[in-house]
């Protein structure tokens, strides 16, 4: 079964180092909480809001062991008026037997406001 694992995080400035650190933090949390191995990942989509252009956030994933051949694509989020600024969103598409309602979607920093219905109490406090 193919499932999507969603995640998002915000940064405070359009800075390459901050974007990469935040993306790495988000991806590590998504991978850890869902026990994802790179060989079950079909692809990864990463979007950024239009105010973030200092780095390709996919670069953060390239430092992870065994993730070299996982296809990753970055794009720009549609600029909806009054949407959350400075936001990085990730969609991991994975092959898993885990039920859809058991997937742990991860929202950090100001991104917790995007989907409060999907928040886990254990990492809701970590932001």
Q: What's the structural domain count of the chain?
A: 1
Q: Lowest mean pLDDT of 24-28, 75-79, 118-122, name the range.
A: 118-122
With 50 as the cut, is the pLDDT of residue 123 above it? no
For residues 51 and 115, the model is more confident at 51
Gap between the Cα atoms of 34 and 47, Å rounded? 20
- Rounded to an integer, the average pLDDT of 81-97 is 97
pLDDT of residue 117: 77
Q: Does residue 76 have an active-site annotation?
A: no
- Rounded to an integer, the average pLDDT of 87-114 is 95
Catalytic residue among 16, 37, 62, 102: 62
> Residue 14 belongs to what domain range?
2-124
- The CATH number assigned to the domain holding 11 equals 3.30.1330.40
Catalytic residue among 37, 76, 115, 126: 115
- Rounded to an integer, the average pLDDT of 7-31 is 98
Catalytic residue among 3, 6, 87, 109: 6
Q: Does residue 25 have an active-site annotation?
A: no
pLDDT of residue 127: 34
Q: Could you tell me how far CA 15 lies from the centroid of its own chain?
A: 17
Q: Does residue 3 have an active-site annotation?
A: no
């Amino acid at each position: 079964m193919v499932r999507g694992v969603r995640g998002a995080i915000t940064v405070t400035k359009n800075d390459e180092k901050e974007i990469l650190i935040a993306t790495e933090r988000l991806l590590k949390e998504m991978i850890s909480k869902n026990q994802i191995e790179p060989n079950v990942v079909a692809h990864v989509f990463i979007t950024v809001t239009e105010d973030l252009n200092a780095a390709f956030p996919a670069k953060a994933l390239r430092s992870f062991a065994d993730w070299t051949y996982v296809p990753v694509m970055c794009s720009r989020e549609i600029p909806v008026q009054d949407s959350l600024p400075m936001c990085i969103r990730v969609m991991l598409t994975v092959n898993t037997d885990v039920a859809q309602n058991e997937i742990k979607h991860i929202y950090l920093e100001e991104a917790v406001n995007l989907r409060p219905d999907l928040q886990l109490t254990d990492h809701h406090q970590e932001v």
